[in-house]
Amino acid sequence: MTKFEVRDVHMAFDAFEALKGIDLTLTEKRIGIVGSNGSGKSTFARLLNGLLVPTQGKVLVDGLDTAKDGKAVRRKVGFVFQNPDNQIVFPIVEEDVAFGLKGLKLPAAQRGALVEEVLDRYNLGPFRYHPSHALSGGQKQLLALAGVLITRPDCVVFDEPTTLLDLRNARRVANVIKDLEETVIIVTHDLKLLEDFDRVIVFDHGKVIADDEPGPALAHYVERMT
Amino acid sequence: MMAGRDPAAVSLIHRIGAGPKLLTLAVAGTVLVIVGQWWWLALALAVILALYRFAGLSFAQAYKQIRPLLWILVILFAFQVYWESWNYAALVVLRIAALVLLAALVTLTTRTDALISAVETGLHPLKPLGVDPAKVGLAFSLALRFIPVIAAQAREIRDAQRARGLGTNPIALALPLVLRTLRMAGDVADAIEARSPYSDDDELPPRFAVDIDKSHSRKSCPDNEPPLETSSI
């Protein structure tokens, strides 16, 4: 299980302070992060795999400092963005999935097998030669996930993965997330997705205002928002 | 425009390596720019169309490549006829059509990753001068990938502007499109960083090593595996 240690983290963008003194230790397998728009939850998610480094404080992933060991951290922690269109970088489905293996000295046969395995896992096999821009929203999100999982991270961080999807595709992606063996940290507005999670953290104005099991944490969030 | 790949397509053109194809494209492109008589360009266009058929591609597929440019070619032709002569207008339009169709033939019959590998190999000698072949190769791939995405965004913005009664004002289209594209570029840069955790000098992590034996019995994915099929925006 991946261990995240967030120590007195502040994150500022010019004059705007997005996170104000966050202290958390994350060890659970399923963690949800909720909060209103601008509450700092997406910034927090980006700190977890070193896409952002804190302006003050430290984020450690299994003892690795995200500010010093960014690449090593990103091998452990994959990241799925809200808009899959911005995450898919190759024009053909199978080529995009293989992008995560670029740089690894893998035999062509093994590379092909890994791509095939992950495409089959998400029912993308029939689309392997298709142009990635022609996939449906749900398929694009699954392709984005496949592109991350092929690097075999221990943990996957999702930033609002169902926000841009219709109900059917959102459920489909949610079911895939539920079945993942990897540790999952998910930023979402889809509260139903978090019902059977181990822990839910609520952000507001750059601070943690609730950190509990889903029931009480979500109740606190809903009360605060209404 | 990049399209799906037809794994069953195996013409001689499909089997030629990406490097020789790009080299041929560069030489042929230079010749097409140098040639000064319209009838030679008409002949070149006919040869290129014949190559489409030879590659198992239909004329409809060739038309799809040129269709997005059609109205520009018509305006260009009319403009050149008015200011120069019909000979010169034919020369300009035929040259553009031939160049576009030839370049599209290369992308339609070659895997993108093979094209990018060829670009990277070709640029390798420039490494001591500070050129990063991997970055140029990635830029090449991103250009192919994001043309349809930006085209879709342009359509979306145009529809929204029409709904607000702004008609076909080019500034009303260009400004939000540029802003959206710049914002997207930032997100794409983050995604590339998040998705490529390995470098050329990295050793094979143990998590991949366990699959080597298993993968020998599975279907491989060789670098020169066949090609592409259609293309459209």
> Per residue in B103-130, pLDDT tens?
999 988 888 878 888 888 888 888 888 8
Report residues of chain A scoring pLDDT below 50. none
Could you tell me the two tokens for A222?
A: 């809903």
pLDDT recorded at residue B220: 34
pLDDT recorded at residue B209: 64
If we measure between CA atoms, which residue out of A71, A79, A39 comes closest to residue A183?
Answer: A79
Q: Looking at the partner chain, which of A49, A98, A109 has a beta carbon nearest the beta carbon of B194?
A: A49
The C-alpha atoms of residue A195 and residue A183 are separated, in whole angstroms, by: 16
Beta strands at A56-61 and A183-187: parallel, antiparallel or unpaired = unpaired
Q: Which residue of B has its CA nearest to A157?
A: B194
pLDDT recorded at residue B183: 86
CB-based contact, A63 to chain B, within 8 Å: no
The arrangement of strands across the sheet holding A4-13 comes to A16-26, A4-13, A56-61, A64-65
pTM of the entire predicted model: 0.76
pLDDT recorded at residue A226: 80
pLDDT recorded at residue B215: 46
The C-alpha atoms of residue B5 and residue B183 are separated, in whole angstroms, by: 30
pLDDT recorded at residue B211: 54
Beta strands at A155-159 and A77-80: parallel, antiparallel or unpaired = parallel
Residues 209-228 of B with CB under 8 A from A: 211-212, 214-216, 218-223, 228
CA distance B152 to chain A (A): 10
Burial B115-152 (b: 16+ CB within 10 A, else e): bbbbbbebbeeeeeeeeebbebbbebbbebbbbbbeee
pLDDT grade for B200, boundaries at 50, 70 and 90: low
Residues 97-126 of B with CB under 8 A from A: 111-113
Q: What is the pLDDT of residues B87-106, one digit of tens each?
A: 999 999 999 999 999 999 99
Burial of A56 (0-12, 13-18, 19+ CB in 10 A): middle
pLDDT recorded at residue B8: 61
Q: What is the pLDDT of residues A58-81, one digit of tens each?
A: 999 999 999 999 888 998 999 999
The C-alpha atoms of residue A64 and residue A56 are separated, in whole angstroms, by: 16
pLDDT grade for B156, boundaries at 50, 70 and 90: confident
Indicate yes or no: CB of A112 within 8 angstroms of CB of B218: yes
User: Which of A53, A64, A97, A129 is most worth mutating to test chain B (most B CB atoms within 10 A of its CB)?
Assistant: A129
Mean pLDDT of B170-181: 86
The C-alpha atoms of residue A42 and residue B111 are separated, in whole angstroms, by: 36
Could you tell me the two tokens for B52?
A: 């489409």
pLDDT recorded at residue B110: 87
pLDDT recorded at residue B7: 59
Indicate yes or no: CB of B222 within 8 angstroms of CB of A86: no
pLDDT recorded at residue B221: 33
What amino acid is encoded at B87 in this protein? N
Mark out the alpha helices in A9-164 (DSSP H runs): 41-48, 70-76, 93-98, 108-121, 137-149
DSSP state of B62: H
CA distance A112 to chain B (A): 5
% of chain B at pLDDT higher than 70: 81
pLDDT higher than 50, residue B226: no
Hey, which residues does A9 pair with through a beta bridge?
A22
